[in-house]
Amino acid sequence: MGSEPVYVVPTGRTRSRTTGTQLTRVVIEHVSPAVDGGLFPAKTSVGDVVPIEADVFTDGHDLPAARVLIHHEDADFADVPMVPLGNDHWRCEVAIEERGTYRFRVEGWIDSWATWRSDLEMRLSAGQDVALDLKEGAGLVGGGARRARAAGATDDAEALKRAATRLQRPGPDAATLAVSAELDALMTAHPDRRRGAAASEEFELLAARERARHGAWYELFPRSASPDPKRHGTLRDVAALVPDIAELGFDVLYLPPIHPIGRTSRKGANNTTTAGPEDPGSPWAIGSEGGGHTAIHPDLGTFDDLEHLLAELKRQDMELALDLAFQCSPDHPWVKEHPEWFLHRADDTIRFAENPPKKYEDIYPFDFETKDREGLWGALRDVVLFWVEKGVPIFRVDNPHTKPFSFWEWLLADVKRDHPDVLFLSEAFTRPRVMERLAKIGFDQSYTYFTWRRSSDELTEYLAELTQPPVRDFLRPNLWPNTPDILTDQLQEGGPPAFRLRYLLAATLGANYGIFGPAFEHMEHAPREPGSEEYLDSEKYQRRFRNVAATGMRELIARVNLIRREHPALQHDRTLRFHPVENDRMLAYSKTLPDGSDPVVVIVNLDPEQPRSGWVDLRMPQLGMAWDAPFVARDLLTGEAFAWSGARNFVELHPGHQPGHVLAIEAGSPAP
């Protein structure tokens, strides 16, 4: 920063430290990414490219310059020049190559060289005498020579010294030298950052491992994994299914709670309040005489079986996600050992969970404001650490919005301090600000309302919100077309085309997506009752056996997951862009890699019942091409190739044939 050190004003304004009557000149505002003004770190991941932007300006006619100083953990600062985008807005891009914390600040100063050069060009254009201006420029160039020498750039220093001499005694070619690109490059490489210098406050980027940014999740209930309808499924049975799930192209296997299930007030089939002797109960009613949150249901197997499952997943390059449900059945050991950890009614009985009019008599919620908060919070943290030490790298967290923000902020930070690669998915279908707060305080991914967004306008507005600033800087969406709790009326009524449509949307709109696998593969669509989103014979309350191989969806699932791997543009959310279609029952969008390569365009028929057609107006510059450029659009689902030219092209889609096109864009004319 030269001889003028810079300090940061806590309000976010910037000032240079001055003496006497020296004035502050440069202003830095609206730095991004800055979540809540820097209160929380912005999220990124390995392999991402993060744009850093700010407004940088000064008074008068002087020209400012700006840069970003950024460093990873204890490494030295890197200097990244910012470029002006117009209207005093500046930008640079930073490639994220390592997991961990990056810290950055924006610095700005008056660019005396650029100001002088711009003024000189205007005077030359007006035909004015510039002899004195060139001598002034000689002083600036001489300063550049001294800075280059101090930096050890001897060759640059000599070149600048020669240029200063030529400008000091202007000859016929001095003006040409003064505005040459070569001299400008040398002076830009050795700037004088002293005049009017200012810096923003420091901001954080928290970079997670790559799996936080993209992945395909497959959920199943282990108790339904048995090949024998008469036998309870086990973790060994799940391990036997892993190669098949991996062949479909999934990255994460997610299991609902695998702990012992209570018997008191156990729910029966279809969520009835009376359970028969063979009803297994809800896995979310955790705890029995067999143990609690750190035990495995005896019918599922042992910790050796879990180790076998983890080894099989590793062989298939997959990871395990376990459900983290912080609640207890009335039979959980903690109910007797720590009754003070639970909510009590006026008669001193423990209150069961309710979400009026729904009642969950088989579940006791914790009292997170208990007087023994330290004991309860510590025990729950230890549950997470227990499974981490067993080799579990990912947790899907059940209903985090019903627990205090401060609890999660503490727990996630405490776990990640020693285990930074552990990931947490927030299952919080609640108000947007609450979902966002959970993401800000540390959850790596979040369920979304994609499940219920159907129209072109709804999908465009919602996905644009999730993938553009400010939300994209702290929330990573994970899109699910179904869950064990959610069977939308579109899937109930739309038949196979609806399943294919919702799957294609989830897997191509979202870098992270998941399915409740067996039910989705078999396209199960019967609700428990009219108007309900609960499945008939839901696996939440009973074991299921499927003796017929799934058909219809498997080929599409495997193909799309392969496309996601072969075209890493689909592994990013930041580059999602929508393109106009002259049919409101169709949707067109694209993704690229952060550098603009690997363009993929997806065009979908949102109507699972009728063929739809329309003119698609591709925003060609977003695909790296001129507006009128010819190109080949190759359908990665069918292998068909379309010779298109320019932005406007006609598309027709039949839901009975395929839900949409997934097009690799190949610039240039097709081969004859």
**Could you read off the pLDDT of 245-259 as tens digits, one per residue?**
999 999 999 999 999
User: Does position 22 have pLDDT exceeding 60, yes or no?
Assistant: no
Where does 534-597 have alpha helices with state H? 554-566
Sign of CA dihedral 254, 259, 260, 266: negative
Query: Which pLDDT tens digit goes with each residue over 546-577?
Result: 988 877 899 999 999 999 999 999 999 999 99
Residue with tokens 């470029």: 83
Structure tokens at 642: 């379309």
Tell me the pLDDT band of 17, cut-offs 50, 70 and 90.
very low
User: Does position 14 have pLDDT exceeding 70, yes or no?
Assistant: no
Task: Please pick, among 111, 427, 521, 573, the residue that the annotation labels catalytic.
Answer: 427
| Model pLDDT, residue 285 | 98
What is the H or E stretch that residue 408 is in?
helix 405-418
Where does 253-341 have alpha helices with state H? 303-315, 333-337
3-state SS assignment for residue 212: helix
Cα separation, 561 vs 406, whole angstroms: 37
* Whole-number percent of the chain with pLDDT over 90: 92
Q: Amino acid identity, residue 295?
A: A
User: Does position 10 have pLDDT exceeding 50, yes or no?
Assistant: no
Topology match between the domains 1-111+191-208 and 211-327+379-537: no
* Whole-number percent of the chain with pLDDT over 70: 96
Cα separation, 2 vs 396, whole angstroms: 50
User: Does position 525 have pLDDT exceeding 70, yes or no?
Assistant: yes
| Model pLDDT, residue 479 | 98
Task: Please pick, among 156, 192, 237, 398, the residue that the annotation labels catalytic.
Answer: 398
Give yes or no for a contact between 484 and 535, defined as CB atoms under 8 angstroms apart. yes
CATH of domain 211-327+379-537: 3.20.20.80
Eight-state DSSP code of residue 293: T
Class of domain 571-667: mainly beta
| Model pLDDT, residue 23 | 66
Structure tokens at 454: 């159907």
User: Does position 13 have pLDDT exceeding 90, yes or no?
Assistant: no
Cα separation, 189 vs 113, whole angstroms: 11
Eight-state DSSP code of residue 24: P
User: Does position 33 have pLDDT exceeding 50, yes or no?
Assistant: yes
Query: Which pLDDT tens digit goes with each residue over 347-391?
Result: 999 999 988 887 899 999 999 999 999 999 999 999 999 999 999
User: Does position 1 have pLDDT exceeding 80, yes or no?
Assistant: no
Segments of 129-251 assigned E as strands: 198-199, 203-208, 215-219
Total-model pTM: 0.93
| Model pLDDT, residue 359 | 85
Q: Which of 641, 639, 636, 648 is nearest to 669 (CA)?
A: 641
The answer to whether the peptide bond before residue 470 is cis (omega within 30 degrees of 0) is yes
Cα separation, 490 vs 481, whole angstroms: 10
Give yes or no for a contact between 390 and 320, defined as CB atoms under 8 angstroms apart. no
Which range is most confident: 214-223, 271-280, 661-670?
Answer: 214-223
Query: Which pLDDT tens digit goes with each residue over 458-492?
Result: 999 999 999 999 999 999 999 999 999 999 999 99
571 Cα distance to chain centroid: 10
User: Does position 19 have pLDDT exceeding 50, yes or no?
Assistant: no
| Model pLDDT, residue 657 | 86
Residues in the chain: 672
Of the two residues 312 and 657, the one the predictor is more confident about is 312
Structure tokens at 427: 């299952």
Cα separation, 50 vs 94, whole angstroms: 5
Cα separation, 157 vs 152, whole angstroms: 9
Q: What is the mean pLDDT of residues 318-338?
A: 98
| Model pLDDT, residue 160 | 97
382 is catalytic: no
Report CA Rg, the chain.
30
Q: Amino acid identity, residue 429?
A: F
Query: Which pLDDT tens digit goes with each residue over 404-419?
Result: 999 999 999 999 999 9
Look up the CATH architecture of domain 1-111+191-208.
Answer: Sandwich (2.60)
Eight-state DSSP code of residue 165: H
| Model pLDDT, residue 3 | 35
| Model pLDDT, residue 12 | 38
Query: Which pLDDT tens digit goes with each residue over 577-590?
Result: 999 999 999 999 99
What ranges do the domains of the chain cover? 1-111+191-208, 126-189, 211-327+379-537, 571-667
Query: Which pLDDT tens digit goes with each residue over 58-108?
Result: 999 999 999 999 999 989 999 999 999 999 999 999 999 999 999 999 999
User: Does position 11 have pLDDT exceeding 90, yes or no?
Assistant: no
Average per-residue pLDDT for the chain = 94
Q: What is the mean pLDDT of residues 208-224?
A: 98
Instruction: Work out whether strand 423-427 and strand 612-617 pair parallel, antiparallel, or are unpaired.
Output: unpaired
427 is catalytic: yes
User: Does position 600 have pLDDT exceeding 60, yes or no?
Assistant: yes
User: Does position 633 have pLDDT exceeding 60, yes or no?
Assistant: yes
